[in-house]
Amino acid sequence: MKKRIAKIAFCCIGAIFLLSCQDDNESSDTGEFNSLTVITRTEKNELEAAVNEINSAVGNNFGVDTSTSKTVSTEKTFGCMDITSEEDENGNIAVIIDYGETCELRNEDVVSGRIVITYTSEDSEDNDFVIDYTLENYTYNDIMVTGSAQAIYDFENEAGNLVYAYESDFSFTWPDGLEATDNSSYATETIFESDEETFLNFYNLVTGNGETIFSNGDSYTFQITEPLRSEPRCRYYVSGVVVSTQNSETVTLDYGDGECDDSALETDDDGNTTEIDLDDIVDDDEDDDTGS
């Protein structure tokens, strides 16, 4: 059973990391918006960073070893985080990531509160493995975050492929009273192109949608209208379409027909289509993040 949990932990860490990267890509790759249409762009970036940190913490710690004795907790400390795990006699496992009253991470973000992760170690009759996690008194850089998420890993769907599905429902409150809700749903299907599962003979198809609503009226949405295809040799998606909105403004980004390149077609509200260089967008975002 330990080996199975370790395998699931490895796969789910990779899947959660992929989804976190997906969030970053959606924020940077979905084209150019008129920044005047919304006034909460900074807060939207903070919200995305908080969700990415939560998912990363879960991916890195949900498979922490439990005691060999049922119902007995074990505890490990990583930096300023205490990780406690407990398995009951029915194979249900709870892992608690406790940041205490304040915990400064390596990237200098400050987190407090707890993330409670639950799953089962018992073999299921089907191929699904479900991880639930909730937040307790959780803050990220003084932003209060509440809510929960669920990750489902399917070892073999009807088509014989690996599937990782994720749903989240989080709420955010800033110190100045601004509030936001953020809901998203993703599914990543990993398709192997031969019978031998090796590192480079697969591709991923990503589907999903999401919506963020701020208390001041700002809204952001995205919808993957054609599955996004990623390949291990390519930095960007090689095909697929994403439609994103900021309030009433809409941008459509088309990643093409399968070629591994750094370009995409962007279509604005007026139907104007422009070929864009994805490297330029990512480099600009990285410069903004570093204050350059």
State the chain's mean pLDDT as an integer: 81
- pLDDT (0 to 100) of residue 4: 40
Report the candidate in 188, 152, 144, 190 with the shortest Cα–Cα distance to residue 168: 152
Structure tokens at 91: 């194979």
- The answer for residues whose C-beta is within 8 angstroms of residue 24's C-beta and 6 or more apart is 48, 52
Q: Is the pLDDT of residue 12 over 50?
A: no
Given this model, what pLDDT does residue 262 score? 93
Q: How confident is the model at residue 129 (pLDDT cuts 50, 70, 90)?
A: confident
Digit-coded pLDDT (tens) for 169-203: 999 999 999 999 999 999 999 888 765 555 568 89
Two structure tokens written together for 250? 């809409």
Q: How far apart are CA 117 and CA 140, in angstroms?
A: 18
- Spatial neighbors of 208 by CB under 8 A, at least 6 apart, are 22, 184, 185, 186, 187, 222, 224
Nearest by Cα to 166 from 54, 30, 25: 54
Q: In this predicted model, what pLDDT tens digit does every residue of 23-52 receive, in sequence order? A: 444 443 455 666 668 999 999 999 999 999
The two tokens of residue 136 are 């307790």
Give the residue-averaged pLDDT of 152-158.
81
Q: How confident is the model at residue 77 (pLDDT cuts 50, 70, 90)?
A: low
Indicate whether 260 pLDDT > 90.
yes
Lowest mean pLDDT among 59-73, 193-207, 244-258: 59-73
Query: How far is residue 35's CA from residue 247's CA, in Å, rounded to a whole number?
Result: 11
Judge whether residue 242 has pLDDT over 50. yes
Distance CA 110, CA 118 (A): 24
| Residue 270 in tokens | 């007026």
Neighbours of 180 (CB within 10 A): 24
Predicted local distance difference test score (pLDDT) of residue 138: 98
pLDDT > 90 fraction of the chain, expressed in percent and rounded: 54
Token couple for 234? 């390519």
In tens, the pLDDT along 211-224 reads 999 999 999 999 99
The pLDDT tens digits of the residues spanning 84-127 come to 888 887 778 899 999 999 999 988 999 999 999 998 765 555 66
Q: Put residue 119 in one of left, alpha, beta given phi > 0 → left and psi -120 to 50 → alpha.
A: beta
Render pLDDT for 228-238 as a digit per residue (tens, 0 to 9).
Answer: 999 988 999 99
